[in-house]
Chain A
């Protein structure tokens, strides 16, 4: 039984996340319209790049961070069956992050921070943008502290017991996020803020990119892990079956956290400031980290098969038809996996060292990450919200069928949006353009794809509105607060018997991460202090 105070904590976090999401969804549709050039009145690079910067920050930083914090608190209290440790600290974290978000939003929306969410030093935004982004991260560190303490306290109270999988994975994410955020924190604290305040005259753009690359890859695992948590701990039960393997799930989360970190240079393949051997090392690590995802795909599909057969499905594929397709969680995982398979193929191409030259910074890249992030990941955020919302507000979901329509339209819209986006990249279109003014025949071939993207975006925007509508109607429903169903975590098909300590704890893995990070980022960062580099002054945009 979750206390009303802890439910309130989660609801507040989730509402900030979803408010950011719906605002950013409208911006997204505006952007596909603007860049297509079909409506000349919309044409404005100033508005467009302010919008892209805001869309990126809201979706990538605000939706994700607040969702992960809120979901993490609820997972911790329900899976460990204890109240939140130090709720005061948790609320401080919330308010610090919210203050940071508002502080960053003002320069973003007024066009004083059109540097995109990847910052791009030596381009320089208003200092409030950097400080706001920093506060958002600082608030999330308090969440990490609460999660790590709750994990530790539970282990002390239950020695030799396996930590519930949901909490194990949430703790993996908290640890991952602490390590992940250090890179960008160093960039902002030692380069961006001092430059914006005039304390230093120049920054080394090569160093800035290296530090950002430290964060840029593992951050996507920070976003993805809640989706994987739902895959492992909610989906099997919702489908009517069992989790295929609890131990392998733990191993997958560990490999994600450990190998997700030291591989950021696949964002720097085309950079002149790092040598090819370091890029190759990170490239190998990038391919290795596809292992936990492939294993997750196997475990989830195996769990679904168990459920399908328990429900009477027979034959090689018959179990697929007998799955409960009208359960939002089950529908989401099927659609999510479909998008993961397609997006994963693209990801392997991006990761492939020299082949990256063909698609680097082309429209292929946003096509890829929208499919993986807004597709695979965010559709599971929807599923989690539909599942938790009735328990949070103690009222039944306003409409299950509306939820199903919303999930299907999100999937269809995503297909119509991202398929042409990938093709445009192969046809040479750069990303981050507000209009196509190139006087070359090449651009003619781009037009039909841009038209398709407008419709894809429109379908997704409608879907996003349906999502918010369903949650609002549920919460504001006049029905009495009588929803009594509690959260249900999936049971493994074979109970965990002997769990090695290293699959139940992070002390060892924390050390492994420290060693791997020192190896893969030590020399590449130190090189900037040992060679004759020339800093760049800050530039407006």
Chain B
């Protein structure tokens, strides 16, 4: 029977794998490792293990992760998309009262040139490029992401301290790269007012 043959084959394979592991371990035992070296390797592995545990737990429990929402968009037709049409850019409240910021990066600025957001408030920032690679970093904050044409870079963060911050392009995007920057005002939560124009009734699709 076909099936018996298959089972036989699997058993052989597993047998070979077990033999291989046995052999590997037997050979490894024969390698001379100095006691000091063994101690050092163990210490090293423990430290590395500890760092891995911290990073993985932070990621899984506190959701401390880099921006990684894989979402595509046609960068050549942003102006025709509903979401990133010029009139829809900047700071908005969505239906649930969450603050959403939509920004377009293009050589050589971020649009809109200036935005105001509330401090100590969860912000969802959505960045797209209309041409080449860009990156955006607001110094002294963790608001950092690459902006790749063809993809929406979404990052969720909040700014604890009110103040004026520069928004800097940190990826080489052409000979005018130095000039690519704009401003963001972080305003005390109680003083901030949601912009009234272009109030999005519902989440527009990406068209």
A residues engaging B (CB < 8 A)?
A: 45-46, 49, 114, 116, 120, 122-123, 204-206, 209, 244-245, 247-248, 268-276, 279-280, 283-284, 287-288, 290-291, 294-295, 298-299, 302, 348, 352-354, 356-358, 360-362, 427-438, 440, 442, 494, 497-503, 527, 531-537, 539-541
- Chain B residue nearest to A44 (CB atoms) is B175
- Chain A residue nearest to B150 (CB atoms) is A534
Contact present for A291 and B48 (CB under 8 Å): yes
Contact present for A45 and B176 (CB under 8 Å): yes
Taken together as a complex, chains A and B put the C-alpha atoms of A348 and B146 apart, in Å, by: 21
What A residues does B36 contact at CB under 8 A?
Answer: 302
| Contact size range, B | 35 or more
What B residues does A533 contact at CB under 8 A?
Answer: 72, 150
What are 16 A-B residue pairs whose CB atoms fall within 8 Å in the complex? A46-B175, A123-B174, A205-B150, A244-B37, A245-B33, A248-B33, A271-B68, A272-B145, A275-B70, A294-B44, A295-B40, A295-B41, A353-B58, A358-B142, A360-B144, A534-B73
Contact present for A348 and B51 (CB under 8 Å): yes
Contact of B44 among A295, A348, A500 (CB under 8 A): A295
Taken together as a complex, chains A and B put the C-alpha atoms of A498 and B32 apart, in Å, by: 8
Q: A245-B32, A362-B170 are in contact. List 6 more A-B contacts (CB 8 A).
A: A206-B148, A206-B150, A209-B133, A437-B179, A534-B74, A541-B174
Contact present for A272 and B131 (CB under 8 Å): no
What A residues does B150 contact at CB under 8 A?
Answer: 204-206, 273, 533-536
Contact present for B148 and A271 (CB under 8 Å): yes
- Chain A residue nearest to B168 (CB atoms) is A430
Contact present for A497 and B32 (CB under 8 Å): yes
Contact of B27 among A248, A288, A502, A539 (CB under 8 A): A502
A168 to chain B, nearest CB (A): 14
Contact present for A45 and B142 (CB under 8 Å): no
A506 to chain B, nearest CB (A): 15
Contact present for B66 and A269 (CB under 8 Å): yes
Contact present for A432 and B51 (CB under 8 Å): no
What A residues does B68 contact at CB under 8 A?
Answer: 271-272, 274-276, 279
A187 to chain B, nearest CB (A): 14
Closest A-B pairs by Cβ, 9 of them: A428-B139, A500-B27, A430-B170, A276-B68, A272-B153, A361-B170, A534-B74, A536-B149, A432-B172
B160 sits at the interface (CB 8 A): no
Contact of A122 among B71, B132, B177 (CB under 8 A): B132
B201 sits at the interface (CB 8 A): no
Contact present for A500 and B178 (CB under 8 Å): no
Contact of B177 among A360, A362, A433, A503 (CB under 8 A): A433
- Bits for B29-65, please: 1 = Cβ < 8 Å to A, else 0: 0111110110011001100100110011011000011
What B residues does A429 contact at CB under 8 A?
Answer: 139
- Bits for B152-185, please: 1 = Cβ < 8 Å to A, else 0: 1110000000001010111111111111010000
What B residues does A291 contact at CB under 8 A?
Answer: 41, 44-45, 48
Taken together as a complex, chains A and B put the C-alpha atoms of A503 and B33 apart, in Å, by: 13
Contact of A438 among B76, B166, B175, B177 (CB under 8 A): B166
B residues engaging A (CB < 8 A)?
A: 24, 27-28, 30-34, 36-37, 40-41, 44-45, 48, 51-52, 55-56, 58-59, 64-76, 131-133, 135, 137, 139-140, 142, 144-154, 164, 166, 168-179, 181
Contact present for B59 and A431 (CB under 8 Å): no
Once A and B bind, how many residue pairs between them come within 8 Å at the CB atom?
220
Contact present for A279 and B66 (CB under 8 Å): yes
Supposing A205-B149, A536-B150 touch, asked if A531 and B72 sit within 8 A by C-beta, the answer is yes
Taken together as a complex, chains A and B put the C-alpha atoms of A271 and B175 apart, in Å, by: 22
Name, among A270, A354, A435, the residue most crowded by chain B CB atoms within 10 Å (CB to CB).
A270
Taken together as a complex, chains A and B put the C-alpha atoms of A270 and B30 apart, in Å, by: 44
Contact of B133 among A120, A268, A290, A498 (CB under 8 A): A120
Contact of B67 among A244, A248, A270, A536 (CB under 8 A): A270
Taken together as a complex, chains A and B put the C-alpha atoms of A537 and B76 apart, in Å, by: 9
Contact present for A298 and B40 (CB under 8 Å): yes
A525 to chain B, nearest CB (A): 13
Taken together as a complex, chains A and B put the C-alpha atoms of A302 and B41 apart, in Å, by: 14
Contact present for A270 and B145 (CB under 8 Å): yes
What B residues does A274 contact at CB under 8 A?
Answer: 68, 70
Contact present for B152 and A272 (CB under 8 Å): yes
Contact present for A362 and B59 (CB under 8 Å): no
Contact of B65 among A354, A428, A537 (CB under 8 A): A354
B77 to chain A, nearest CB (A): 8
Contact present for A358 and B144 (CB under 8 Å): yes
- Chain A residue nearest to B173 (CB atoms) is A123
A276 to chain B, nearest CB (A): 4
Contact present for A280 and B146 (CB under 8 Å): no
Taken together as a complex, chains A and B put the C-alpha atoms of A209 and B146 apart, in Å, by: 11
Supposing A114-B175, A354-B59 touch, asked if A276 and B65 sit within 8 A by C-beta, the answer is yes
What B residues does A361 contact at CB under 8 A?
Answer: 135, 137, 144, 146, 170-171
What A residues does B69 contact at CB under 8 A?
Answer: 272, 275
Contact of A206 among B33, B37, B151, B179 (CB under 8 A): B151
B62 to chain A, nearest CB (A): 9
What B residues does A502 contact at CB under 8 A?
Answer: 24, 27
What B residues does A428 contact at CB under 8 A?
Answer: 137, 139-140, 168
Taken together as a complex, chains A and B put the C-alpha atoms of A199 and B170 apart, in Å, by: 31
Contact present for B151 and A273 (CB under 8 Å): yes
